[in-house]
Structure 1
Amino acid sequence: MLNERVFRTEDVPAEDRLAYWAERMAQTHAPVQVRSDHAEDFRATQRVLDLGAVTVWSATFPQVVVRRTPRLIRRSDPGLSHLSLVVAGTWTADWGDHEVVYRPTDLIVGDSSLPAEVRGDQGPVALVGLEVPKALLPLPRGLDGRAVPRRMTTCQGVGALLAQFLTRLCEDTGPYRSCDGPRLGTVLTDLVAALFAGALETGSALPTEVRRRNLVLRITSFIDEHLPDPELTPSVVAAAHHISTSYLHRLFQEEESTVAGRIRSRRLAAARRDLTDPALRTLPVHAIAARWGFPRPADFSRAFRNAYGVAPKDYRQKVLEADRLARC
């Protein structure tokens, strides 16, 4: 499991809850002033994932106004770039020289060195936040924090990939080990760097290794989204990313598997998951195979047996029977 903690304002007396929430914001991002129409009984929850130097957090809370003032900045500035994915509610931010309205799927892009007032106009509000030390972002020196757009979209490109990564990570941390935290932090840092570089049109200034990792991440995400397509092959993947098949194979030389190997292993893992789903017990094995890109049952059976040492039908029967006995 990743290193994660959960905080609830209901764990402290009602009169202390808003102050407790302000302390949480200070520890997660930077010292801020907080006020709310619900100050007498401020009910909020925050879940924090420690990923090395990077922090990811998800939170739900009622209407609130958060201010980062010049005085607070002079007193304490941790040097963080902050991004919040708006999951629910509407936000309005006053950045001093302009105002921005944020709605679900928008990214609020902040900076601990810049004053701001951010208002959650409707509640309950839900956010997924990301804190990245600015020193880790390999962008050209001399760029003022105001150069980065305060609002970014997650409907396409790197923004969509970042939002997907954050959402999936917060939905389920079970598959990860504590030692995976810093690696996941590196991936998120690279994505933020690519997002900022694209917005500033400085993508060529990113280190080669950062660009390579971002391309591999986009490719693996593409593969996961297209697993049901039986025509998904390395050449199709390469064409979708406007690179040659030979370059695609070179990219994956440093990965744990080849491109074809990843496609096969991800398909088999998805099929195995469906085989053990009680809700799908009446769905034939060949139908499950077909829904994950194996149109020929014999090919699926052979690949499954090679991967897991047992025929898919026998595996399904064994797991479902064990689940039945466990419930008795």
Structure 2
Amino acid sequence: MLPRAMLRMPEHDLARVTAIPVSCSDGLGTVVRPFLYGLARQVDELESLATPRLADNVADLVGTLLAEHTGADRTPQHDDGRQMLTQHILTYMEQRLADPELGPGRIAAAHHISRRYLYKLLAEHGYTVSGWIREHRLARCRRDLADPTLSHLPVGAIGSRWGFPGPAHFSHAFKAAYGISPSEVRTMQCQGPAQAR
């Protein structure tokens, strides 16, 4: 139900929790369960408000729950420096998603490492540099396409503001990732929840 990129977890960790029940009777589950039930009870009202920011927060909370379940946050002591560097790199990329010049060379130079080492660090977490950037840019575009306050922006402008070089490239990448075109997402949003059903 959530785009994988929004969970901000390595693929190998996501694979460990796919189709696996997660307890809601201990740990973070005791907080997440009532929160999600509350959202479900108010889903019609929330859909009419179209709250993409809330969707991001829900994804973060679910991702944190899954990370707790996989033990992803518990890393060996000797890996702390490497893990910290990887986290700095991911944060750097996240903050610069809108920059069309964001790429391996710039990222590696900003962290004083070689491209090869950059590729290795991200590969350990199940990512490629370009794949991570593309997935996160597309997730931001999808969020913006569903945001009624941005409905005045052309679809191509949404892609452009998140670093895609042109409308055709953006549309192709979006459809390949989600099976639906950006224009169709925008149309569904304009119809509203009731009509879309």
TM category (shorter chain) comes to: 0.5 to 0.7
Give the AA of the match of 1:179. Answer: L
Q: 1:172 to 1:318 in 2, by over 3 A?
A: closer
Over the residues paired in the alignment, what is the CA RMSD in angstroms?
Answer: 2.5
Written as runs of structure 1 = structure 2, the 5 A alignment for 1:1-328 is 2-5=28-31, 172-175=57-60, 176=62, 178-181=65-68, 183=71, 185-186=73-74, 207=78, 209-323=79-193, 325=195
Distance 2:174 2:180 in 1: 7
Distance 1:324 1:233 in 2: 41
CA shift, 1:5, in A, is 4.3
- Which secondary structure state, in structure 1, belongs to the residue aligned with residue 100 of structure 2? coil
- Count the aligned residue pairs: 144
Distance 2:155 2:124 in 1: 34
Distance 1:285 1:271 in 2: 9
- Which secondary structure state, in structure 2, belongs to the residue aligned with residue 274 of structure 1? helix
Give the AA of the match of 2:93. Answer: I
1:295-317: CA deviations, max 9, x gaps?
31111011101101121101221
Distance 1:288 1:281 in 2: 10
**Which protein shows a greater Rg?**
1
Higher-RCO chain (CA-CA 8 Å, sequence separation at least 6): 2
Q: If each structure's helix is expressed as a fraction of its own residues, which one has the higher value?
A: 2
Q: Which runs of 5+ in 1 are unaligned?
A: 7-170, 191-205
CA shift, 1:256, in A, is 2.2
Q: 1:172 to 1:230 in 2, by over 3 A?
A: same
Give the AA of the match of 2:190. Answer: L
On the 8 A contact 1:3/1:181 being kept in 2, the answer is no
CA shift, 1:174, in A, is 4.3
Distance 2:73 2:119 in 1: 25
On the 8 A contact 2:146/2:189 being kept in 1, the answer is yes
Give the AA of the match of 2:68. Answer: G
- Which secondary structure state, in structure 2, belongs to the residue aligned with residue 224 of structure 1? helix
- Which secondary structure state, in structure 1, belongs to the residue aligned with residue 105 of structure 2? helix
Q: Percent identity?
A: 41
Q: Which runs of 5+ in 2 are unaligned?
A: 1-23, 33-55
On the 8 A contact 2:148/2:189 being kept in 1, the answer is no
CA shift, 1:179, in A, is 3.2
Give the AA of the match of 1:181. Answer: E
Give the AA of the match of 1:186. Answer: R
- Which secondary structure state, in structure 2, belongs to the residue aligned with residue 300 of structure 1? helix
Q: If each structure's strand is expressed as a fraction of its own residues, which one has the higher value?
A: 1
Partner in structure 1 of residue 4 of structure 2: none
- Which secondary structure state, in structure 2, belongs to the residue aligned with residue 181 of structure 1? helix
CA shift, 1:322, in A, is 3.8
Give the TM-score normalised by the residue count of structure 1: 0.40
